[in-house]
Amino acid sequence: MPLAGRPILDWVFRAGQSSSEIDEVVLATSVDASDDVLERFASSRGITCVRGALDDVLGRFLLAADAVNADAVVRLTADCPLLDPALIDSVAGLWRRNMSTDYVSTTLQRSLPRGLDVECVRAGALRSVDAVARGYHRTHVTSLLYAAESRFSRLGLVTQPDCSHYRVTVDTPLDLEALRAITDQTGDRIVPWRELIQILGDRPGIPAINGSVRQKEIVEG
């Protein structure tokens, strides 16, 4: 799906490749035939692609980690085209300075718009989760790491003021409409997260477009 003339997946690729803390971007998709087009597109952009079970996203992340012998994996989901490389650098850089930490993210206490989510997981911790994760935990990849009963070590990045009520992810047609209203203002460029929040605050009609969209609960898959 295009956004300001660029496929949404390419926005995510660009954000990852623009981060100074990420060594290599890897697309982790499924072996389902419907995802053949994604592998071809990744190849056209020089992006490594790994493919695993359709319903086992955690397994695919481990394939990606193994493909590049990663010490840690930064999770960027492909429905978040407005990811800011500066936030990616902040999360991944925090992990590099605390490499014994299992999990660093912007989501332990949400303060940023949904769709700017960045998570960094130590590869060893991801393998530990793989040994015990079942059901929706294999879909959500990191959910066992931040569960209330989790014993994994965690660090969180929190910003102020709290802007977690905004939504810039793409799960529904209304989400896409809202993002197109944003890119009508910004064009095809990476939008710094502070500027994005300013746009949403100055133009309340934009967040109103998808303000009624309900985010699924983790247990819904």
- The 10s digit of each residue's pLDDT in 137-168 is 998 999 999 987 889 999 999 999 999 999 99
Q: Which range of residues forms the domain containing residue 93?
A: 2-160
Count of all residues that appear for the chain in the document: 221
In a domain, 208, yes or no: no
What is the Cα–Cα distance from 132 to 100, expressed in whole angstroms? 21
Instruction: Give the pTM.
Output: 0.93
Mean pLDDT, residues 73-88 = 97
Kindly state the DSSP code that residue 20 receives in the 8-state scheme.
Answer: S
In a domain, 183, yes or no: no
In a domain, 181, yes or no: no
In a domain, 41, yes or no: yes
Q: What is the domain count for the chain?
A: 1
What distances in angstroms separate CA 171 from CA 81, 156, 176, one per listed residue?
12, 25, 8
The C-alpha angle with vertex 65 and arms to 60 and 70, in degrees rounded to 5, equals 170
Q: pLDDT tier at 217 (50, 70, 90 boundaries)?
A: low
In a domain, 166, yes or no: no
CATH number at residue 72: 3.90.550.10
Alpha carbon 137 to chain centroid distance? 16
pLDDT in tens, 107-148: 999 999 999 999 999 999 999 999 999 998 998 999 999 987
Angular region, 28: left φ>0, alpha ψ -120 to 50, beta rest: beta
In a domain, 189, yes or no: no
